[in-house]
Every structure is written in C-alpha cells, then in structure tokens.
Amino acid sequence: MSEIVEIGPWRLLSAYFFLLLLFFFIKGQSIGKEKEILVSALRMTVQLILMGYMLVYIFDQNRLSVTLLIFFVMVFFAIRNVFVRVKVPVNKRLRRVIMLSMIAGTSLTIFYFLLLVIHIEPWYEPRYFIPIAGMIIGNSMTGISLGTERLIGEMRAKKELIEGALMLGATPKDAVLEIIKDTFTSAIMPTINSMVGMGIIFLPGMMTGQILSGVSPLIAIEYQIAIMLGIVGSVSITVFILTRLGYLTFFNRFSQLEE
C-alpha cells in the first residue's frame, strides 16, 4: 500500500474555493445566507483544528480517566444539542428520559462494541474509543431528536383520540401504542435508509478514511459493516427507551393526559 498523501496547508486552503463557489451561487440568487455560511465554515475550521491538536495529546496520554472524560463531554453536548434541535417545548420529565436514553443506549453499545466486536486492549484505547463513540453518539443524537419531535407532535395532534380511548377504559400505553410505533419507526428510518445505498451509491466516511490512509479495502469494509451495525443498535436502544418511557411523561399518576 502506498503512503497517505499529505494535503498540506496551501492545498487545504485551495479547497475553500468550493466555499467561494457557494457564495457566488448564494449571492447570485439573493438568498442572503452569506453570514450564516461564513460563520459555519469558520466554526468548522477552528473546531476541527483544535480537536486535531487535542486528539494528538489524548492519544499520547492513553489514560482511562481522560478517555472517560471525553466520553462524558461528548454525551453532555449531544444531549444539549437534542434540546436545542427540538423545536417544540420539552417538559422536565421528558428531558430526564432523553438524558437516560442517550446515556444508557450509547454506553451499552460502545462498551459492547469495543469489548466484544473489536476486542481491543485496553478497551479505552482513545484511538479507537473516541472516533467510534463519536459516530455512535452522533447518530443516536439524531435519532432521539427526530423521535422527540415526533412523539410530542403526535401526542398533541391526537390528544382527543387519546382522551377518548382513556374514557373507554384503555390504559395509557394502549391509548398511545400506535404513536409509540410511529415514533420509533420515524426515528430509526434515516439510519436504516443510510444502509441501503452504502457501497453502491456512496462509500461511508469511516471506510473512505481508512482506505485513504492505506488500509486494505477488505479490512475497511469489515470495520464499516461493524460500526454501521453498532450505530443501528445504539439508535434502536436509545429510541426504544425514549418511546417506552417518554410517553409516560404526558400522563399524571392518575393516568390522565396532562397539558
């Protein structure tokens, strides 16, 4: 395998031509998003450069405490982003369910993946732990965001139907069973759909990165299949916990639907 080609600062700078091209299209159509795009590009650049230097330091340390600290920071910001991305009010009880779902679902998946699927020693090797945790947490965050919005929206839209079912003697779970199913399905479908075109329509980022770094495509495929299945598992667990506990936050202890 040939060595990886280093881009270097000047050739990296030339890649910003595509950003200028986007500015040209935006300006020509009077869309007015120039400032937003510029801020996004600057944030991406600064954040990734800082992260690069941080990862160099973290990889050199190879300490359990540092790796776990990074993990909890990632989970914290993922939960925070869920609250920001969900455009409808979220009550305190549902917020606690979201936090529990993220922590439990991602933790179970990450540790299972590292200990049994990859079986690295030590299991907290940051070179493996951090990238894998990032992909699993990021996809779970998206799943929970979609699930939360769908759950709240459906509970509000079908309030009268739920109350009617309760008056006929249905339990809260029976009254919202279809909503739970719809929420779970809508939250996991983007992850399922991303698997459909993998390998034929596009090569995933992890696999592409490994191939560019000189890893055999067959080994890269093994890792990509494994991590994709891990992502599916994590999204499924987190959304399952969200739906199975989240609907309860809309009812009081008398099984009455709350506003």
19: helix, coil or strand? helix
Residue among 197, 224, 192 nearest 208 (CA): 224
**Which pLDDT does position 259 carry in this prediction?**
62
- The encoded tokens of residue 176 equal 């919202």
**Which residues, in sequence order, are CB contacts of 32 under 8 Å at separation 6+?**
26
**Quick one: pLDDT at residue 1?**
47
Comparing 213 with 65, which gets the higher pLDDT? Answer: 65
| Segment 172-193 mean pLDDT | 92
What pLDDT score does 136 carry? 94
Distances (CA, A) of 88 to 81, 145, 150, 152: 13, 11, 10, 8
Neighbours of 28 (CB within 10 A): 8
Q: What is the pTM of this model?
A: 0.84
Mean pLDDT (the chain) is 88
Q: What is the pLDDT of residue 109?
A: 94
**Neighbouring residues of 250: CB distance < 8 A, sequence distance ≥ 6:** 155, 176, 257, 258
Angle between helix 126-157 and 177-196 (nearest 10): 140
Model confidence at 116: pLDDT above 50? yes
pLDDT at 212 over 80: no
Tens-place pLDDT, residues 51-86: 889 888 888 888 889 899 999 999 999 999 999 888
**Higher-confidence position of 196 and 150:** 150
CA dihedral 33, 39, 42, 47 (to 10 degrees): -130
- Using pLDDT thresholds of 50, 70 and 90, give the confidence band for residue 180: very high
For residues 14 and 37, what is the distance between their CA atoms, to the nearest angstrom?
Answer: 18
Q: Are 82 and 74 in contact (CB under 8 A)?
A: no
